[in-house]
Structure 1
Amino acid sequence: MNKLAREATHKLKKTDFEQLSEFRFQMRRFERFSENATHEEGITPLQYLLLLHIRGFPNRDWATVGELAERLQAQHHGVVALVSRCEALGLVRRQVSDTDRRQVEVHLEKSGNEILDKLAQLHRKELKLLQGAFQVPQIKY
């Protein structure tokens, strides 16, 4: 029996529902905090995530639209539009790759870095307050 089949046959207990509910509650509280913090900085939560994923991309300071789409779990064309909106705000810039002219890199501009620095500090403080709230419940089979 595969893992998914075992999970489907496991009878959930009241405590399982309580743990799932608490996890979703804490996750939503954090999302709500993030929504408010980003709006106060004049950007949307999705724009913040774009900036975060560009700067946080492993081993470099830029990302392609395709990589950002994967990180955001979004459609490629939607991320193209998001990048365009951020570019119009002066938060990011597109640059054709020096090594592969078919590839377009998305880089943070100074204003994007400044907003990201401020918001990331706020998010880290909030995460410290929630420390332990995001523990994944033990699942027994």
Structure 2
Amino acid sequence: MLTQADFEDLARFRLAVRRYLAFAERGARAAGLTSQQHQALLEIKAQSYSGVITVGELAKGLLLKPHSAAELVDRLGANDMIIREIAPSDRRVVHVRLTSKGESLLAQLSERNLHELKVISPSIGDVLERFENLVDL
């Protein structure tokens, strides 16, 4: 059974996560991106280290429907943030990668966001540690 302290920890954790997300959203807006566009750039960068990323994989990583991811890719492409490339082995598959403009903007936002995470991580870490000590419900 959950205790009052458990509910308080859950509320503190939720607030810390919301504050971080609001911080990241403000940064994205200030850079001329929507939060979803920023998340897409991050997903493309993260996934591209293991190879290329397709629009379908981007959709899965962002929990979007494929057509919504394709629209997002179109908007990012129109802003010179990403490049779409038809896969040579299957013309139905579209790979996406960041342009130098997309790379640069993502690096700036990521540095800012990582700094904020470093600032708030002690409070989140304390709450997560208490969650680990909870008895299975």
Structure 1-normalised TM-score?
Answer: 0.86
Structure 1: gaps of 5 or more residues: 1-10
SS in structure 1 at match of 2:124: coil
The match for 1:69 among 35, 59, 72 is: 59
Tell me what 1:22 maps to.
12
1:75 CA displacement: 1.4
1:101 and 2:91 equivalent?
yes
SS in structure 2 at match of 1:93: strand
Tell me what 1:121 maps to.
111
1:59 and 2:54 equivalent?
no
Letter in 2 for 1:33: F
1:104 CA displacement: 0.8
Q: Distance in 1 between matches of 2:124 and 2:75?
A: 32
Letter in 1 for 2:135: K
Structure 2: gaps of 5 or more residues: none
SS in structure 1 at match of 2:13: helix
**1:76-91 matched pairs, under 5 angstroms:** 76-91=66-81
SS in structure 2 at match of 1:131: helix
Q: Figure out how many residues of one structure are paired with residues of the other and give that number.
A: 130
Percent identity reads 32
Structure 2-normalised TM-score?
Answer: 0.88
Write out the 4+ residue segments of structure 1 that deviate beyond 6 Å after TM superposition: none
- Against the structure 1 CA distance between its residues 20 and 124, is the aligned structure 2 distance closer, same or farther, given a 3 Å change threshold? same
Write out per-residue CA displacement over residues 68-96 of structure 1, whole angstroms, 9 at most, x where no aligned residue: 11111111111111111111111111101
CA RMSD of aligned residues (A): 1.3
